[in-house]
Chain A
């Protein structure tokens, strides 16, 4: 489905050889992940870190993916970008449909042209994610050089604008400074500028505010929201912080042990957390406005990928556990009265006769 889209604006010169950017229409999602499986090599064997993950992101939508460490949310993002470290991991199955193509089927060079241009990613650690021996100006301008064929002067001019947009003070004077001369919050802004240089249609943000001070977090989040609206981007926002989710997400997917266990519009999820895991997650957020006796914790630990239980992966820690839960994997099923709210649980969302996930 590669139709030439409507004129995109000055920065969208057609990229060589691949076809023009296809702007998604209202009902075609910009990204559709279908049954994604990504495996990692640990202790001698290959085990799935992400298993049968499916979701779609609509044009201009923010999808939040939440979960504990090790649940596979970062791996999902890396799989979309094709950045799974080849020495010990690879995408083993499924499809990632973007702009009418299956990213899984692309070779490295085709994928490279998409990265940084149409899909960008920002990472968690601003302290180590910028190259210490290159100026920030250069690093921001670099993508423009490779994807838009801009010369140094032109790219630098655009980069400077970008730095202004992310509110780096005295951007012109600091253009030739090095990353170590900036604070963590500033560096994250630089990362954002870098990622948005080519006006991508989709931004993957892997816990971009986790490593920052709480006050800076709020600033960076609002910056992201602002830019997303201005650029008309879709965003996948990965986090373990439900508070952040509430403020920026349109839809939320909760992941556990490599699977999506619940996915719903944000208000729906907060009002009606249906999967036991999501429910417990929400309950474990400390509340300062209420007087509670103690903090709720979820007993147990996320299983390691080489030692996954059979049946429902959450069953060992689930307070509602029944025999059916440990014998078969539940399917992701929409709730009867809320078709865009899907849950993976035998008890809370049993499959209706004739219905399927």
Chain B
């Protein structure tokens, strides 16, 4: 892997900007995702009904003028629950991935920078963590700790730490060996300064790519756990929970399964497009010709 020449944070931003412009997919992904985020943020304002408001007489209805996406088994408006579920999914996934990026990134940079036995031990632990499938690990953690929003975030963050540690470590090792780092040390720069100013900008682009892809995974895991019954407890609206309800009532109403499914698909797909488009643009091998 060849690294760009030593430049600062402005280079990282330039690289990102270029990556975005190279590809329609990253733009489409970003815009779609931002639309969803906007909808989620505005949920309290635009949601037609209270997501918890029940109307037993109108249960399990298909789309209608009163309920654009239909109602669930308690007569609650699906659209409203979708919007509020979006908030929940986004919060859980964003917080957990943010935590994973920060913690994993720090671990990776430290391990790469310090090297030696510390590095070896840390990477062994990371490798073992990595070999756990995310869903199973998430399942185990939530099963043991109990199902709550906080525990969900912990579970998802745990599965994501190891990959970020890995991708923070590799370029750190490469950059560490470079001559200009020697020069920095000779000038008396502290290790911390070296790490933040010189190493960080080189890995930001790749971290962002991974972050978008992992955000998609986090949303998937949260939905899967909710579906199994280990998510945030009902009656709170979660996409996975809604699909579970839909599944239980599958013979009576398809809307309850379909709409949340489409919602998850939309968000995950747009994030994947974003991450994918960015990655294609950043990776020199896959570029058409330069």
Instruction: Point out residues on A near B: beta carbons under 8 Å.
Output: 41-42, 85, 87-88
Contacts and interface: CB of A to CB of B under 8 A. Distances in A.
A87 B288 contact: yes
8 contacts: A41-B289, A42-B289, A42-B290, A85-B289, A87-B288, A87-B289, A88-B288, A88-B289
Nearest to B290: A42
A42 B288 CA distance: 10
Interface string B279-290: 000000000111
Interface string B260-290: 0000000000000000000000000000111
Interface residues of B, number: 3
A41 B289 CA distance: 7
A87 B290 CA distance: 10
Given A87-B289, A88-B289, 6 more contacts: A41-B289, A42-B289, A42-B290, A85-B289, A87-B288, A88-B288
A41 B290 CA distance: 8
A41 B287 CA distance: 13
Contacts of A41: 289
Nearest to A89: B289
Contacts of A88: 288-289
B249 to A, nearest CB: 53
A88 B288 CA distance: 8
Which 7 residue pairs are nearest across A and B when measured between Cβ atoms?
Answer: A88-B289, A87-B289, A41-B289, A87-B288, A42-B290, A88-B288, A42-B289
A221 B290 CA distance: 34
Contacts of B290: 42
Nearest to A40: B289
A70 B288 CA distance: 20
A304 B194 CA distance: 34
B283 to A, nearest CB: 16
Nearest to A85: B289
A282 B82 CA distance: 76
Contacts of A85: 289
Contacts of A87: 288-289
Interface in B14-56: none
Interface in B193-241: none
A125 to B, nearest CB: 15
Nearest to A87: B289
A85 B288 CA distance: 11
Nearest to B289: A88
Contacts of B288: 87-88
B107 to A, nearest CB: 33
B134 to A, nearest CB: 32
A213 B288 CA distance: 34
A21 to B, nearest CB: 36
A97 B114 CA distance: 61
B211 to A, nearest CB: 30
A85 B289 CA distance: 10
A146 B290 CA distance: 34
A84 to B, nearest CB: 12
Interface string B152-187: 000000000000000000000000000000000000
Nearest to A88: B289
A42 B290 CA distance: 6
Nearest to A43: B290
A215 B181 CA distance: 33
B21 to A, nearest CB: 13
A284 B259 CA distance: 73
A35 B26 CA distance: 44
Nearest to B288: A87
A87 B288 CA distance: 7
Nearest to A42: B290
A41 B288 CA distance: 10
Contacts of B289: 41-42, 85, 87-88
A74 B288 CA distance: 21
Nearest to A41: B289
B138 to A, nearest CB: 38
A87 B286 CA distance: 12
A41 to B, nearest CB: 6
A178 B288 CA distance: 32
A87 to B, nearest CB: 5
B5 to A, nearest CB: 16
A90 to B, nearest CB: 12
B250 to A, nearest CB: 49
A88 B289 CA distance: 6
B1 to A, nearest CB: 15
A228 B180 CA distance: 46
A38 to B, nearest CB: 14
A80 to B, nearest CB: 21
A87 B289 CA distance: 7
B2 to A, nearest CB: 15
A33 to B, nearest CB: 25
B290 to A, nearest CB: 7
Contacts of A42: 289-290
